[in-house]
Structure 1
């Protein structure tokens, strides 16, 4: 392949990468919002159904407490996820700014900055952005799993509590 065709192919791969990265970012936001909405809805339903009257039977009480703890943990994990993503976006914005600065220095468009300082800042920001990205996925998984566990425990508790009283 000639150089021009290789560059075109590389550009096509870059465009696909950017498109899929945008879709991933949008889907993480959608999933987080969806789970937060379900979580708050189910938490309200659970509190309404149980009336926050705790059972005297030890294992039913334990089930109720674990359901509430799991749902509450899921909610706060979702909030932490939002905060973490905002920090990740901020670091990524700074990273783009410093990469632009590096490009300008390397192509003699800007001589007011020290290239070594810019490169070390880029390395630090990349490390931080990667760390925040990994934390985002961990928090999303925790949010989903704690919600599912809380919802299942809540449904079981409500079914048992309604059958005992009814």
Structure 2
């Protein structure tokens, strides 16, 4: 068990350095401000990094200043998609946006009531309803994917049974 933790610690550091391309200085700051990253699964860290980098268009330097890894991924995603659907955040295309997006630091560090009042221009009730609807949306999407996988498996079974009938005849 002890060895696994040591390997995990190295895995998180290696991931942040080699795959997320944080500089040594940025990595020191991440570890200093959010030491819990060492306990995270590297795949979870990488997923959060990729979301911020590709979906939100945020560079490593801004991620470090904003302390990206202090907020659970689900909450970051809720806040980001909420802003996006309200027309207050635009996903950059090839690094360019037509609007000036809120800073990642504001999205992450404002308490929820301040985030809602000053960035999202919304009420806590609207945000709660949004989170429930988003969760339902994701559940329905997951169910559809599961159904698609079942139909694909059923189709494969049908092909197998047709072939076996032909072979028997």
User: Shorter-chain-normalised TM-score: which range?
Assistant: 0.3 to 0.5
TM-score (norm 2): 0.35
User: Bigger radius of gyration, 1 or 2?
Assistant: 1
Normalized per residue, which structure has more helix? 1
